[in-house]
Amino acid sequence: MDPTTAELLFMGTECETSGFEAFNAVRDMENLDAEAAVERTQAILAWLASRNMIDLFLGNPFTYEPDPRDCDPTGTDLICADRLWPRDNPDDRWLLYDATPWGRLMLENRWAALRETEKGSTS
């Protein structure tokens, strides 16, 4: 797992995280222009979701509470460019995500492996 992907997964452990926050993190960490950052954010979120590391949902941008509606897309179909830009949303909801227990475990395992690598390099 690359550092940007790990950061987006970590962001999901803190509380519900918006697609816009993820976009900003990707843009800043990888020094990308907006178009490239949208594509990279979509790819990372899709990868995390397809491996059951995050749960995606559409929610209220003020409370970050889920706000499901009839005919909403599901799964990775929620990840679209207009959901990563709050001003371009097709409705009044944001794309939000949070880490699953599996995602948290994968992140903990990654940190443990990094600690072992660092410990080995200083020995």
Domain residue ranges in the chain? 3-121
11 contacts 22 by C-beta, under 8 angstroms: yes
Q: Which CATH architecture has domain 3-121?
A: Orthogonal Bundle (1.10)
In this predicted structure, what is the pLDDT of residue 116?
Answer: 84
32 contacts 40 by C-beta, under 8 angstroms: yes
pLDDT digit string, tens, across residues 107-117? 999 989 888 88
Mean pLDDT of the chain: 91
Would the pLDDT of 123 be above 60? no
pTM of the full structure: 0.89
Going from the C-alpha of 24 to that of each of 33, 90, 108, 117, the distances in angstroms are: 10, 20, 24, 29
In this predicted structure, what is the pLDDT of residue 91?
Answer: 82
**Residue (of 107, 85, 112, 109) closest to 8 by Cα position:** 107
Q: CB burial class (10 A; 0-12, 13-18, 19+) of residue 61?
A: middle
Which residue pairs from 117-123 have beta carbons closer than 8 angstroms and sit at least 24 positions apart in sequence?
none
In this predicted structure, what is the pLDDT of residue 114?
Answer: 84
Going from the C-alpha of 79 to that of each of 11, 63, 107, the distances in angstroms are: 17, 20, 22
Angle at 21 between CA 16 and CA 23, to 5 degrees: 130
